[in-house]
A and B are shown apart, each in its own frame.
Chain A
Amino acid sequence: MEMFWGLAVSAILLGCTYTLVAIGFSLFFGVMDVVVFCCGDIAIFGSFAIIGAYAVAQSAGLFGVFPFWVCVILLILIGAVFCAAWGLITHQLSIKPFQNSSELMPLLSTIAMGTVIKEGLGLLFKPVVNTISAAFDRESAVTVVSGRNPQGFPSLLLPDGTVGARYLTIIVITAVILLLLFLFLNKTKMGMSMQAISQNKELSLMTGINVSRVIIITFLIGGVMLAVSGFLVGSYQKLMSFDDGAMYGAKGFSAAVVGGLRNTWGAVIGGMLLAFVEVFVSGYIPKGTAYSSIAAFVIVVIFIVFKPDGIIGDKSVEKV
């Protein structure tokens, strides 16, 4: 029984990391009818932005000036700014120019954007971070290794706490983010505008909703969500690689499809379902770890064939 609960906790934590990426997919798809395939890469960029900002902050001696928690919030904000910027850039360069083209065009261009983000990280992460760190001209300048190397994620979540407390914090942060998103989507004018556009863009235009503005804000919010996702992934896994984005993107998209691509709660359910399948296949089937991802993607295929609208999605998913 101890193993069961251990696996369940692992699955919930993994599910949290998938869920936030999946919500990014859902938000973008809901408002734009576009699958933004670089969501995973943007989230990983957020992780790297935090790792880089941490090195710079240490080089600048920031941790000695401000309380630790203030520094952590600042680092997350930096990650959020970068991810929101990538969200906007993605919209402006990879989606907007293809609004009147085939549905395949933005799909391909967001895949291309993901490659740009990934390779950019691999090439530029080290020179940019180390140049900024060196500019502070302190003996204790902290440097990072090449962006193509695995990066240890700094201990920013309860560094002196127990592992259990850190895990619980990750789950609580995910829950709080989901709650805030729920309140935003259902209790604010902007959130309801997003939902209106998601349901019927033409009617939304007729009712006077500024669709362009809503779209831009969606990409900003989505970017911030992905940054938080990157922070939680890093805090949980403790090891980041510049090419992890493809895997998280694939898992996040799969989770969104399984749950229902237009529905943010579907993303939560889909993310958790995939994580539970992966972890329990790995845990209970002898030598099962090699097959855990295969099992998760088999679930996705089953859903696409038998319930393409997802667990709580609507029929409009068939448009994809």
Chain B
Amino acid sequence: MITGTPKPIEEIIEMLEPYDNIIVAGCFGCVTVCRVGGDKEVQILSSTVRLAREAAGKKIKIKEVCLERQCDPEYVELMRPYVEDYQAVLSIACGAGIQFMAEKFSVTPLLPGINTGFLGVTERQGEWAERCQGCGDCVLHLTGGICPVTRCAKSIFHGPCGGSVHGTCEVSKNVTCGWQLIIDRLKSLDQMENYAKLKPYKGWDKSRDGGPRRIIREDMI
């Protein structure tokens, strides 16, 4: 899923300074699963903002909504009938959802209520960790199912570097060495022959370096 963290409330209050009639929009997609942008978070954030503005003597009216997904046009369009009745939309979806709404509603300012994080997994209640950078050219079949691009701090293809100590990365004792994980997995899969091969230069053009990416599925159009 796409993960995220709430923006500090002070930053949100500052963003909302010019407005007194807004929509707070959540999303039932990834951000609901990682508990940062679902309907519950819409309610909590809206209440917090109302209280803060009341305390500051500058009341704000808030319409609370939560879309099925902010990244799909059919759901975003549901807001069209009323969006222009409000001065701004504070979205707590991921950056993709916020931008999609901004594209659709050209005269309404869209404000980010969360900082979008990464493509990750729930390791345990309340803890998420990155697993994929969406680099566009997956090699997981060669690396024991562990991604060198994401899990290695240097994204190297022939690791680990000299900074791997007792299974941890030189960057921090709290970061597991991705290449230690790869080697452990290759050993348990009896695939160490994959380690001994030289890997070609990676084509980062399939990653974000090629500019904003697009997928076109002719069979679906």
A binds B: no
B residues apposed to A, CB below 8 Å: none
A residues apposed to B, CB below 8 Å: none
